[in-house]
């Protein structure tokens, strides 16, 4: 049996995502950011950059779904992005990503219409 989804609660969680991320990495050392979570797994640093990039992709995908009759949702090679976009760099810019913050603030409004 499937559970009913509390859509407003989910959208509130989505809106708070950037604040939750900021809280999660506040005071974390570079050594902690660079420790893989599992053998061959991503580091917290890589996850922060991935979240910013994924949010940017989701921003475009959502708008295409709403605005186009036959949208093409383009995928991307996450491991390749990790390498080519230098996910080993400092996380400050990904945390401060205007697209991420704007998307998390505006996308829920589109999803409730």
Percent of the chain with pLDDT over 90: 33
pTM: 0.75
Residue 3 falls within a domain, yes or no?
no
**Residue 112 pLDDT:** 63
**Residue 7 pLDDT:** 79
Residue 52 falls within a domain, yes or no?
yes
Number of other CB atoms surrounding residue 78 within 10 Å = 13
**Residue range of the domain that includes 107:** 42-113
Cβ atoms of 97 and 15 within 8 Å: the answer is no
Residue 36 falls within a domain, yes or no?
no
Q: CB neighbours of 84 closer than 8 A, spacing ≥ 6? A: none
Nearest Cα residue to 71 out of 81, 60, 80, 82: 60
Helix (H) or strand (E) holding 29: none
Report pLDDT digits (tens) over 26-82.
899 999 999 998 888 899 999 999 988 888 888 888 889 889 999 999 898 988 999
d(CA 88, CA 43): 9
Counting the structural domains of the chain, the total is 1
Report pLDDT digits (tens) over 69-112.
999 998 989 889 999 999 999 988 887 765 666 666 666 666 66
Residue 14 falls within a domain, yes or no?
no
Number of other CB atoms surrounding residue 50 within 10 Å = 17
**Residue 34 pLDDT:** 95
Residue 19 falls within a domain, yes or no?
no
Residue 3 binned pLDDT confidence (cut-offs 50, 70, 90) = confident
């Amino acid at each position: 049996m499937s559970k009913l989804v509390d859509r407003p609660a989910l959208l509130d969680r989505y809106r708070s995502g950037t604040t939750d991320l900021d809280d999660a990495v506040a005071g974390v050392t570079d050594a902690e950011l660079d420790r893989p979570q599992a053998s061959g797994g991503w580091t917290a640093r890589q996850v922060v950059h991935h979240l910013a990039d994924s949010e940017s992709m989701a921003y475009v995908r959502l708008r295409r779904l709403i605005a186009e009759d036959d949208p093409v949702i383009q995928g991307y090679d996450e491991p390749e992005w990790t390498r080519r976009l230098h996910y080993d760099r400092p996380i400050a810019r990904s945390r401060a990503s205007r697209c991420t913050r704007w998307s998390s603030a505006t996308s829920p409004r589109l999803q409730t219409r």
